[in-house]
Structure 1
């Protein structure tokens, strides 16, 4: 299966793929998920619908891949030797403008996720699960190094805390998450909850 996907996807250059995925994000911001069509993506990118379906299989998978391409690095790749360093690098590699765009897209996709099990599954498989797995790996290493007690109840809720911050700040203060807020939130909420 992985070989079929990689050979299927290898037909586009990385530059062309990035261009297509950025166009999908632009259309999502403009019209929303429900109104986004493969026809509109094909027209915007001057490609055929057949190419889009061959490369990504479906609209939900295309959208999930487009959202994934905005991530500067995987949490799995962060290993500075300390939990503070790992979270610091995560914040450092974040981009305020991109986080604002991502927050707006996520808000826009929230309703669509409840209406489309296929979109929900694609976002979980391609975006949410890899980031949660990377975060859990970071936390596991911190436990192994003795930075966090293995029985700390907050360990399993760190993803919920971080995702909650991205949802709550725009709702409460009508502003997107930025690096300064994220760093403060981690220091004030996440580290104390972990006893770190």
Structure 2
């Protein structure tokens, strides 16, 4: 499926794709997922609906692809030489877009409850890709000898990282800023993996 989508998108130049994805994200922020229409995307991007459907098949697939391609950082590009450095770089690179992404993710979290096709597209085109990239970060840490391969917390590392972004708002009514996230990595994630950090005893 992914290869088929890539073949369809190959008819557009990278510059044109980038413009279109940015327009989709802007509209998504303005009106939300449910009110977003292919007609509105076509008008904003000076495209035809036929072109959009030919390239992306559906609104959920277009939105999921736009989310993937407008992320502030690709996990595949992060390799600092240490697990602590990689996790901190993920946080640092995403800090500038966090306010926008937080609002969008909250809106999409509500939308997926009554749009199963959106959830499927997000899993296929965004979430699985991110999972593979994050797993590669952890594999490198194991290969370097930083983390024991049988460490029980390994399979929960992503859960811990996601928790850092979601629980502070619920418990403390504050957004997880970069200082909080750096401290969380040192105090929670790395100790759970058996990695020494500035917060270690």
| Residue equivalent to 2:73 | 73
Question: Where in structure 2 are there 5+ consecutive unaligned residues?
Answer: 196-201
Q: What does 1:1-196 align with in structure 2 at a 5 Å threshold?
A: 4-94=4-94, 96-196=95-195
How far has the Cα of 1:173 moved from its partner? 4.1
Cα 1:177–1:193, aligned 2, differ >3 Å: closer, same or farther?
same
| Residue equivalent to 2:199 | none
- Distance across 2 between alignment mates of 1:106 and 1:27: 14
- Distance across 2 between alignment mates of 1:6 and 1:74: 18
Cα 1:5–1:130, aligned 2, differ >3 Å: closer, same or farther?
closer
How far has the Cα of 1:101 moved from its partner? 0.8
TM-score (norm 1): 0.89
- Distance across 2 between alignment mates of 1:129 and 1:188: 28
- Distance across 2 between alignment mates of 1:175 and 1:50: 44
How far has the Cα of 1:5 moved from its partner? 3.3
How far has the Cα of 1:3 moved from its partner? 5.8
- Distance across 2 between alignment mates of 1:123 and 1:2: 12
What SS does the corresponding residue of 1:102 show, helix, strand or coil? helix
Question: Where in structure 1 are there 5+ consecutive unaligned residues?
Answer: none
Contact 2:2–2:125, Cα closer than 8 Å, also in 1: no
- Distance across 1 between alignment mates of 2:177 and 2:120: 27
How far has the Cα of 1:26 moved from its partner? 1.4
Contact 2:33–2:107, Cα closer than 8 Å, also in 1: yes
Runs of 4+ in structure 1 off by over 4 angstroms are 1-4
Which one has more relative contact order, counting CA pairs under 8 Å at least 6 apart?
1
1:109-149 deviation digits (Å, cap 9, x = unpaired): 01211212211111112221111211111112212222112
Contact 2:75–2:90, Cα closer than 8 Å, also in 1: yes
- Distance across 2 between alignment mates of 1:21 and 1:77: 20
What SS does the corresponding residue of 1:80 show, helix, strand or coil? coil
How far has the Cα of 1:39 moved from its partner? 0.9
- The RMSD of aligned alpha carbons is 2.0
